[in-house]
Structure 1
Amino acid sequence: MDRMFRVLGFWCLVIALMFMAGTMNILAGLFFLQAVIFAVLGYMNYTERTYMLLFGGYMVLAFIGIVYWSYFQVG
């Protein structure tokens, strides 16, 4: 499971570089931050249950953020 967090960090880095190439610097910074967090968590060697709980918490926060942004900020 720790390898999957490193993979998530890699893909967040790739997405951040694409945002940077498209001059969307705020989103690039957000994805760079996520890449660093995922990479650091990937090297901490937690148990698989801890990784699942961390990922579940990340998904809850991400979904709340997306719903908030799409409901209150867009349009």
Structure 2
Amino acid sequence: MDRMFRVLGFWTLAIGLMSLAGGMIPMALIFFFQTAVFVILGYMRLSERTYMLLFWGYMILSFGGFTYWSFFKMSV
């Protein structure tokens, strides 16, 4: 399971680099931060249960934030 967090780090790095190339600096910084967190978590050798709880917490937080932002902050 720890390798999956390193894979998530790779993909968030790829998205961060693409957003940096596209001129979306705040998005790039968010994804670079996520990359650092995922790579650090990938090398911590935690239990599988802990990795699953961290992943679900991340998913709930990110989807909740995305839903809030798209519903309340974006103009139509």
Q: State the TM bucket, normalised to the shorter chain.
A: over 0.9
Residue aligning to 2:66: 66
Instruction: State the 4+ residue runs in structure 1 displaced beyond 6 angstroms.
Output: none
Quote the sequence identity (%): 60
CA RMSD of aligned residues (A): 0.4
- Report the equivalent of 2:55: 55
Structure 2: tracts of 5 or more residues without a match: none
| 1:27-66 pair list within 5 angstroms | 27-66=27-66
Q: 1 CA distance for matches of 2:67 and 2:21?
A: 27
Runs of 5+ consecutive residues of structure 1 not aligned to the other structure: none
Q: Using the alignment, how far apart are the partners of 1:36 and 1:10 within structure 2?
A: 10
Give the whole-Å Cα distance in 2 for the aligned partners of 1:72 and 1:63.
14
